[in-house]
Amino acid sequence: MTRQHLTRWRQPLVFGLWALALLALLAGCGGGSANSTSAAANASVSTTLPAGNNVMAISVESGPGNNVNIPYVTVTVCSPGGTVGSSSCKTIDHVLLDTGSTGLRIFASVVGATPALTLPAQSIGSSSSITECAQFLNGLTWGSIKLADVVLSGERAASVPVQLMDSNYPTALNSICGSSAVMAQSSSVAGNLQNLGANGILGLGLFAHDGQHYFNCASTTCQVFPLPAQQVQNPVVLFANDNNGVQVRLPALSAVGQSSVTGALIFGVATQSNNGLGTANVVPLNATTGYFTTVYKGQTLKNSFIDSGSNGLYFPDAGLSTSCSTTASGFYCPPSTQSLAASILTNGSSVAVSFSVANADNLFSPGGISSGNYAFNNLGGRMNSNSFDWGLPFFFGRSVYTVIEGKTVGALPGPFNAFTN
């Protein structure tokens, strides 16, 4: 099994991107373990979707890559002004929901598959060959920038710059973009490619623009393009209403996991009766980096973040065993499930968050993923930095809010996160 997860990536003073490092688990894992967890909870669980045109379903299931803890949504992409249900629009399922990155990225092969959808190129000045590389923690995305209307439930964002990802990355750009593996759609990848396990990435993070590297690739070489105002954008900021952020609701899970989970993605925060902030804990962030502080076992982890694109909780703990099998490499494998706690600094105080970390080998052995479980609330792994990555296990049993920079909720300015506990 390989890992994938999202972490924030920032250039100084530039609106950046939460880096995708999907710590996903490929098909064919499993295998035996003398301590395997009992297969007691291979059931689906769901949360009731509230009524409203600003609500859409989230599914956590095996998906195209047979991965665990990957939240998927369905996105409709249209040529600008296109009519939903006609040939000018295309509905794309199994798009990774990522509250840690900015913008919509769909594989060009998915958009071009029958029935193909043609999207106009983004034109900036005399150039209509704008291409981007977006850096993620353990990979990058490469591809041209197109304009599309993005339809999410009853909300529509018009003429959004989106990236059509492909794998034709010119290695000559390594000095600028890095040499990390390029995200690919195929489950059978070779060379410097990495299977994403999704048809695209829907980045609904804290920032309006992605702040990545842009190029004019009109000729055989790609020339650096000044960071355009028409960057890849968070589509939520372009909604007519419900445009200040999102709320993710996922149900609580059994300790041995579930086969699948259905939750709710709700657009807007305190803009309708179904998306109020209520008594949620508000987490102030560094407005440039989006980081906050977590205190864990005496460590003050100032580069912490909340990220639905991370499939585990990632944090530094030298006392937790990492003696996992190859299939669970990078995760924690304590002899027994550990009950732990950390404190997240909020406005004027801190909130204690209890969580557990199970033996990843046991989760993925018979009784775990090999028996059909793809959602776990107790999957943890190593983080060798001054960070606590509150990934998808943090979301189960909570409402988690992401409010975008430049937007407000009452008197509270974004960006900020909030969560129920």
Number of Cβ atoms within 10 Å of the Cβ of 50? 15
More confident residue, 385 or 38: 385
Contact 409/269 with Cβ under 8 angstroms?
Answer: yes
Q: Is 407 a residue whose pLDDT tops 50?
A: yes
Confidence of residue 39 (pLDDT cuts 50, 70, 90): very low
Confidence of residue 348 (pLDDT cuts 50, 70, 90): confident
pLDDT above 90 as % of the chain:
71
Confidence of residue 10 (pLDDT cuts 50, 70, 90): very low
Confidence of residue 193 (pLDDT cuts 50, 70, 90): confident
Mean pLDDT of 4-19: 30
Rg (CA), the chain: 20
Residues listed for the chain: 421
Instruction: Name the pTM for this structure.
Output: 0.91
More confident residue, 172 or 20: 172
More confident residue, 211 or 404: 404
Per the DSSP assignment, residues forming a β-bridge with 95 are 73, 200
- Secondary structure of residue 53 in the 3-state scheme: coil
Q: pLDDT value at position 241?
A: 96
- Give CA–CA dist 306/313, Å, rounded: 10
- Give CA–CA dist 388/49, Å, rounded: 30
* Segment 146-185, tens digit of pLDDT: 999 999 999 999 999 999 999 889 999 999 999 999 999 8
Q: Is 223 a residue whose pLDDT tops 50?
A: yes
Structure tokens at 355: 């969580």
- Give CA–CA dist 58/96, Å, rounded: 10
Q: pLDDT value at position 246?
A: 98
Q: Is 20 a residue whose pLDDT tops 70?
A: no
Average pLDDT of every residue of the chain: 87
Contact 361/393 with Cβ under 8 angstroms?
Answer: no
Nearest to 198 by CA among 77, 102, 96, 91: 96
Q: pLDDT value at position 127?
A: 81
Most confident of 27-41, 107-121, 313-327: 107-121
Domains of the chain with bracketed CATH: 7-238 (no CATH), 276-419 (2.40.70)
